[in-house]
Amino acid sequence: MAAKAKPVPQVALGLEPGPFHDRLVAHNRQQAWMNWMGYASPSVLDTVEFEYFAIRNQSTLFDISPMCKYAITGPDAESVVNRLVTRDIRKLKPGRVAYCIWCDEDGNVVDDGTVFRLSETEFRLCCQEPQLSWLEDIGWGFDVQISDVTRDIAGLALQGPTSCALLKDLGLAGIETLKPFGIAGFEIGGAAVTISRTGFTGDLGYELWMEPGDALKVWDALMPAGKLRGLRVIGYEALEMARIEAGFLLPKVDFLSAQTVLRADRANTPYELGLEWLVALDKPHFNGRRALVDLSKQTPRRKLVAIEIERDKPAHNALVYHKKTREVGQVTSALWSPTCKRNIAYAWLEAPYGQSVTDNLWVEIYLQKEIRWQRRMARCHLVAKPFFVHPRRTATPPADY
Amino acid sequence: MSGRYDAIIIGAGHNGLVGAAVLARKGKKVLVLEARDHVGGMLGDASFRVAPLPYALRPEIARMLQLDQKRLHGAKPVETLAFGSDGPPLRIIGGQVTGTDAITEHDYAILHARLGRQARALGVMMLQSPPGLGKASLGEMAGLAKMALKMRLLGKTEMRDLLRIILSNAWDLLNDEIGDGPLAGALAMDATLGGAMGPRSPGTVLTLLYRMASQSSHGHGLRVMPEGGPDALVKALSDCVTSAGGEIRTGVAVEKILVDQDRAAGVRLQSGEEIAAPLVLSNASPKTTLLTLLGVEHLDGEFIRRCRNMASKGMVSRLDFDIAQMPSLRSGGKIEQGQRLVFAPTMQAIEASFNAAKYGDLPERPVFEATYDTTAKRLCVTAQFTPHDLKGGWTDDAKSALASSVMAALEEALPGLSSAVTASRVMSPVDIETGYGASGGHWHHGELRVDQLLMLRPFDGAAQYRMPVKGLYLCGAGAHPGGDISGAPGFNAARAALRDGGH
Ligand SMILES: Cc1cc2nc3c(=O)[nH]c(=O)nc-3n(C[C@H](O)[C@H](O)[C@H](O)COP(=O)(O)OP(=O)(O)OC[C@H]3O[C@@H](n4cnc5c(N)ncnc54)[C@H](O)[C@@H]3O)c2cc1C
């Protein structure tokens, strides 16, 4: 896309320009900015539909620099990360990434994120919420250095079926051999770039990490190379559609961090979130382990489930009923999935609904037709996550699209 | 892991000994491991004793351990001499004071009786596991119910009064009731001794009640020295352990608490020797036990943060002066064996010395209590508000500065004293920390204040003696109900362990 719009150097929102800001401005026809950790982040640059379909059919660039990033290094780094997260991080080899959650002492989830193991003694944690004081508490008494490197590293998510081909076009030798959750070093536009085969879309895709000073150089190399591959800059809204399809949960939307809730019962355990597969109770002590051992033996109070809804209207903020009468839960994320052609959502259901009672569930959807509101009860069914699964996400080497 | 012992007690402080005795008398095979070359902890070193005045052993514990109660509690109550800035000292025994005016005598008797009733209600909780913050067991509920009942029995007015004063300060209460002076000074000293609080700090009425509740063998606030002194008490406790089949080893420091499958499994000594036992009670302070002996790798981050943040800044130093010939009091007469001397002429003086300590300085005129041992010919001084974190550190100069200022105050009441001193020693909070493993060198192994009491003692999440690693218990002064030579934490911890099945 040739950027003809006049660059607007300043965003008058009190937000900080990120490392790619000068280029984002040029592409942002809507000038729709949102606040992501103090950075100006585009919610949509042009048209959300185009941006979304580019994720599933072409290639997309999304600036992930605002993501919180922490370096955890030193002789005890492995012990500290293993103490932090519920997975057994000793099994994570250097050059690999793992999706993780971490819990407080009551076994409630503090946040989720990805752990990059850069070497035996160097880890990087990427997550949504600021964690420095939490990490310092977890690391206290260990031989480890913990630092916030959020602003030291620029990140770009390059996602979509043509992303591998695009990188190959740029001459990244061997990129096609990088397996999902693998990390490798490359050069783009003369700048050193660490690439991980990770992402938030459930599609073939990569995340590119570089020094902020190299950000524009890398961008300027990617954009022309992407011309033939349909590369498009996207904003948060399109990504949000893809992440729901991909089965990922979003803090602040689907669940709240135990650190931020005001009402103690609003925090959630891994068992409630359906993330028990991430909890390795058999490893040495980690934060919240004793509470999690107890919780693992109990029926969760409620459960976050994936549902598919009959008919086509998305169930935003809908209440869920049993037998159309008894209120048993509510929807957190909802979407008419353009790729799956299914009406999908995540919903919290109070026990025993969604656990031993799974039938005769209904969502209450409000529709506005020419000012008048209508209420519609639509039947819903529990289904497995993710909604969108495609072999190209994991195929190595990926096919040339 | 199988071993010769059912339980290991880390530390032979009086609480460790009481805990060991309770377990041994229930047929448990116990081993007490003490780092120092003597038993009794702060009470036990006859050459320079940290805690010279063991008045507070709970009579219930003496009874249940079948100690010789007549020897322990049979003596006549100790007389306190409260020195003002001039003239003869006031003489206090329980609710009786002489040497002041008739109105003050009367007001003091009434105040003392009232505080005593409230202290008794609080005292019920001393030998109870504090209730949990989450779910309480039947036994805990019973303890709470008993306290509630005692409180109800106080009557409406006194109940309201108790609730009113519990967060209030000793300064206001005593000023209202008896006015400032040596009498108020002596009471405010009881309220603040060992803590990092001045009489004006909130919660000091509560600490006064606590102290009164812990000296109730003859009725509240009456102090009694065991016959034969501290050494006799220490011997009675260690004999109680050994005669029930328990073993005590001294000169062996525990380096690590061993954990297997998230359960306590024994200990490793500094020598490298490992000793297995399914039950470990620690008499060391909570911070030492958890952060050093157990290790942070077994604990959650939030728990560690609360443990690190636990207030435990020691404020008290001990000074011994060898004095062969004790001079007479300025007002005439001699000091007698067993008398407790309090040098806190006013609450104002206590508050002023606290102000200095708050900011890491030594007070110009420290406030202190003292006794003269006529056999050892030694004056034992316990000086308040000498901060652990002294600016410039506890150098020899700092110690001699403290000794001089204490001596200057003593000299006023006992003219000629300083020239009669043949030798002196100073033990700072830092020395106590190093010597006994009590973090901060703190009197109670951790500040005794409203947010570190009962179900919050030693800190939120660590109450009720049971630690997160199963089979590990806190049995020292850091646990409920706190320090002084009361035996209560050791007793309660052992009973909690027995209730849990003994392992
Ligand atoms: C200056 C001062 C004066 C005091 N005066 C009085 C007083 O006059 N009257 C009174 O009632 N109270 C007094 N106290 C308070 C009283 O001394 C304490 O509250 C009491 O000693 C606590 O008893 P304990 O058994 O819990 O612990 P401690 O007496 O501290 O005993 C703990 C024992 O554990 C041992 N230990 C620690 N770590 C290890 C390890 N790793 N391995 C093996 N052993 C270990 C220590 O060596 C020590 O012997 C005073 C306190 C201070 C600081």
- Name which of B91, B71, B158, B156 is nearest B120 in CA terms: B158
- Give the pLDDT band of residue B406 (cuts 50, 70, 90): very high
Report the distance separating Cα A297 and Cα B62, nearest Å: 44
The per-residue pLDDT for B450 is 83
- Asked if B113 and B107 touch (Cβ cutoff 8 Å), the reply is no
Percent of chain B whose predicted confidence (pLDDT) is above 90: 81
Q: How far apart are alpha carbons B378 and B238 in whole angstroms?
A: 26
Structural contact between residues B307 and B295, judged by C-beta atoms closer than 8 angstroms: no
Of 3.50.50.60, 3.90.1150.10, 3.40.50.720, 3.40.50.1220, the CATH number of B7-43+230-310+440-499 is 3.50.50.60
Q: Are B50 and B380 contacting, i.e. CB atoms less than 8 angstroms apart? A: no
What ranges do the domains of chain A cover? 21-65+153-246, 68-151, 300-387
Residues A8, A22: Cα–Cα separation, whole Å: 8
**Once rounded to an integer, what is the mean pLDDT over residues B413-421?**
96
What residues have CB less than 8 Å from A401, skipping those under 6 apart? Answer: A161, A162, A165, A392
In this predicted structure, the answer to whether residue A266 has a pLDDT above a threshold of 70 is: yes
The mean pLDDT of B64-73, rounded to a whole number, is: 93
What are the DSSP calls for A17-42, one per residue?
P-TTHHHHHHH-TT-EEEEETTEEEE
Q: Quick one: pLDDT at residue B220?
A: 72
Contact between B19 and B283 under an 8 Å Cβ cutoff? The reply is yes
In terms of CATH, what superfamily is A21-65+153-246? Probable tRNA modification gtpase trme; domain 1 (3.30.1360.120)
Q: Is pLDDT above 90 for A25?
A: yes
Q: What is the pLDDT of residue B455?
A: 82
| Mean pLDDT within B269-296 | 97
* Residue B232 confidence class, pLDDT cut points 50, 70, 90: very high
Q: Does residue A254 register a pLDDT over 80?
A: yes
Minimum distance, in Å, between the CA of residue A294 and any CA atom of chain B: 13
Burial of A243 (C-beta count, 10 Å sphere; 0-12/13-18/19+) = buried
Q: B17, B22, B42: which to mutate for ligand 1, most atoms within 8 A of CB?
A: B42
pLDDT confidence band for B454 (50 / 70 / 90):
confident
Cis check: omega of the bond before B52, within 30 degrees of 0? no
The arithmetic mean of pLDDT across residues A205-234, rounded, is 97
Confidence (pLDDT) at A190:
96
A10 pLDDT band, cuts 50/70/90, is low
> Any idea which of A17-31, B102-116, B213-227, B389-403 has the lowest mean pLDDT?
B213-227
Q: Which among A270, A279, A333, A264 is positioned nearest to A303, based on CA atoms?
A: A270
Separation of CA B199 from chain center: 18
Most A-contacting residue of B133, B300, B304, B307 (CB-CB within 10 A), to test interface: B300
Structure tokens at B144: 């709470």
Peptide bond into A9 cis (omega under 30): no
pLDDT digits (tens, 9 = 90+) for B141-200: 666 677 667 766 777 777 777 677 778 999 999 999 999 999 999 999 999 999 999 999
Q: Is the pLDDT of residue A79 over 50?
A: yes
Q: Per-residue pLDDT averaged across B236-245, rounded?
A: 98
Give the ipTM of the model, two decimals please.
Answer: 0.92
What pLDDT is stored for residue A8 in this prediction?
54
User: Per-residue pLDDT averaged across B447-467, rounded?
Assistant: 90
For the ranges A111-125, A377-391, B111-125, which has the lowest average pLDDT?
B111-125
Q: Please name every residue paired with A71 in a beta bridge, in sequence order, or none if there are none.
A: A124, A147
Confidence grade of residue A1 (pLDDT, cut at 50, 70, 90) = very low
pLDDT in tens, A276-298: 999 999 999 999 999 999 999 99
Q: What is the pLDDT of residue B414?
A: 96
Cα-atom radius of gyration of chain A, to the nearest Å?
22
CA B291 to chain A, closest CA, distance in angstroms equals 8
Work out the average pLDDT over A108-118. 97
- In the structure, how many helices (H) and strands (E) does chain B have? 17, 16
- Are B185 and B344 in contact, with CB atoms under 8 Å apart? yes
pLDDT of residue B222: 80
What is the tens place of the pLDDT at every residue in B288-302? 999 999 999 999 999
Q: Which CATH class is domain A68-151?
A: alpha beta
Ramachandran angles phi, psi of A332, nearest 5°: -105, -45
Alpha helices in B198-285 (DSSP H): 204-213, 229-243
Backbone angles phi, psi at A89, to 5 degrees: -75, -15
- Write down the mean pLDDT value for chain B: 92
Q: Is the model's pLDDT at A11 over the cut of 60?
A: no
In whole angstroms, what is the distance from residue B163 CA to residue B152 CA?
12
Q: Where are the domains of chain B?
A: 7-43+230-310+440-499, 105-208
For the segment B25-30, the average pLDDT, to the nearest whole number, is 97
Site residues for ligand 1, CB cut-off 6 Å: B 10-16, 33-36, 41-43, 50-54, 56, 253-254, 283-284, 288, 293, 316, 318, 382, 432, 436-438, 443-444, 476-477, 483-485
Whole-angstrom Cα distance, residue A188 to residue A173? Answer: 11
Fold of the A300-387 domain: Elongation Factor Tu (Ef-tu); domain 3 (2.40.30)
Q: Which two tokens stand for residue B170?
A: 């000793």
Q: A-B interface: how many C-beta pairs under 8 angstroms?
A: 39
Q: pLDDT tens digit string along B318-345? A: 999 999 999 999 999 999 999 999 999 9
The residue nearest atom 12 of ligand 1, judged by CA position, is B484
For residue A220, what are the contacts with CB-CB under 8 A and spacing of at least 6? A23, A189
pLDDT at B2: 47
